[in-house]
């Protein structure tokens, strides 16, 4: 059944990128950004539901997977797709981690934090 829903979602992403983009934000965005969001969505499900379920488990288990690396996360406090508590648990368990909370939803936070992310990566 999950495979069926993945295929339906993939079809909608290819036909109407707005359908996908509005799942993540209400903010205005360019057609190019909408297309990129739809492509990213489709890529996330390319390997089928099993891969998405495995990844989801990594972030929802009581003891989250914590990479041995420096982590800097930016998260929207109004994100309905990825609740803040899961990110706080991940970052709280990592020895070298910071979490920047921003007013915003799933996609608007990413769009607004782009320059901060690139600066952090370049440092």
Domain edges within the chain: 1-60, 70-123
Does the pTM exceed 0.85? Answer: no
Q: Residues, the chain, total? A: 123
DSSP 3-state of 52: helix
C-beta of residue 54 within 8 angstroms of C-beta of residue 80: no
Cβ count within 10 A of residue 42: 18
Residue 118 has a pLDDT of: 92
Range name among 26-30, 52-56, 96-100, 116-120 with the lowest pLDDT average: 52-56
Structure tokens given for 81: 């797709």
Q: Looking at the predicted structure, is the pLDDT value of residue 75 above 90?
A: yes
Of 72, 73, 71, 77, residue with least CA distance to 106: 77
Interval 57-65 mean pLDDT: 67
Residue 13 has a pLDDT of: 67
Cα dihedral sign for 51, 83, 34, 120? Answer: negative
C-beta of residue 72 within 8 angstroms of C-beta of residue 87: no
Residue 1 has a pLDDT of: 63
76-95 residue pLDDT tens: 999 988 888 888 887 887 88
Beta-bridge partners for 74: 100
Interval 101-105 mean pLDDT: 91
Q: Looking at the predicted structure, is the pLDDT value of residue 46 above 80?
A: no
Of 102, 97, 99, 100, residue with least CA distance to 77: 102
DSSP 3-state of 93: coil
């Amino acid at each position: 059944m999950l495979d069926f829903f993945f295929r339906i979602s993939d079809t909608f992403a290819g036909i109407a990128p707005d359908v996908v983009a509005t799942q993540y934000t209400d903010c205005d965005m360019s057609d190019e950004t909408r297309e990129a969001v739809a492509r990213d969505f489709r890529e996330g499900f390319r390997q089928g539901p099993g891969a998405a379920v495995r990844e989801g488990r990594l972030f929802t288990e009581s003891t989250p997977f914590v990479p041995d690396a420096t982590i800097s996360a930016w998260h929207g406090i109004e994100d309905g797709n990825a609740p803040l508590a899961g990110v706080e648990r991940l970052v709280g368990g990592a020895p070298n981690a910071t979490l920047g909370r921003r007013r915003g939803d799933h996609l608007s936070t990413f769009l607004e934090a782009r320059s901060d992310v690139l600066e952090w990566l370049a440092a």
